Structure formats: C-alpha cells, structure tokens
Amino acid sequence: MSDNVENREVCLKIYESGRDVLIAVCDLEILGKTFKEGPLKVEISPDFYGREAASYEEVEAALACATIANFAGCRAVECAIRLGFVERENVLCIDGVLCAQMVRM
C-alpha cells in the first residue's frame, strides 16, 4: 500500500506510560459515534482515538512497539487481523461495528 492521502482511512493515537504503549485505531467514518447492541456499548470518542488520519503503514509501525491496542471499525480490525495481532474469532461485533483488543505480555 502506498502512504498517500487516499490511504489514510483510519485514526491513530498513541499513548505512552512507563513501559506500556497503547495505541487506539478506528475507522474515520465512525469517529464520534456510539454503537449499542443489547448490554454492549462502544463509544468511538475522538478524545481517545484521536483526530489524526493515519496510513496502514503507520498503524503497522505503531503496533510493532505497542503493548496494548484497541481497534474499532471494519478496516481497523481487518488491518489488525491481516498483520497477525488479532484473531478473527476474538472480534466482537456491536451494532455492525467490529471491535477488538490486543495485549502483548
């Protein structure tokens, strides 16, 4: 994939605390929305996921040093699956939106 503006379909935010690096990745079009299904609810907050568009290459680079990651949205989760950080059977679907987490121990 080329690292151009058209490739920037997800938001990426990186948090560092001590030895931990948390990354939050979501599809751009779900940013700011809330999804509910039964007792499950996920809020795709710009405060948490950030507002900066990122390429898949930037997500891959961030994942290389991440100890924790949150993914929301079809593209974000599929990227994590393709890169081997999330297994498909561990993905939740809340009101049609894919959600997953990764923890590296």
What sign results for the dihedral spanned by CA atoms 46, 47, 48, 54?
positive
Domain count of the chain? Answer: 1
Measure Cα distances from 36 to 54, 83, 99 in Å. 26, 28, 12
Question: CATH code at 42?
Answer: 3.30.1860.10
Helix (H, G, I), strand (E, B) or coil at 36: strand
Instruction: State the residue range of the domain holding 54.
Output: 5-103
- Please indicate, yes or no, whether the overall pTM of this predicted structure exceeds 0.85: yes
The tens digit of pLDDT for each residue in 64-105 reads: 999 999 999 999 999 999 999 999 999 999 999 999 999 998
Structure tokens at 103: 């923890």
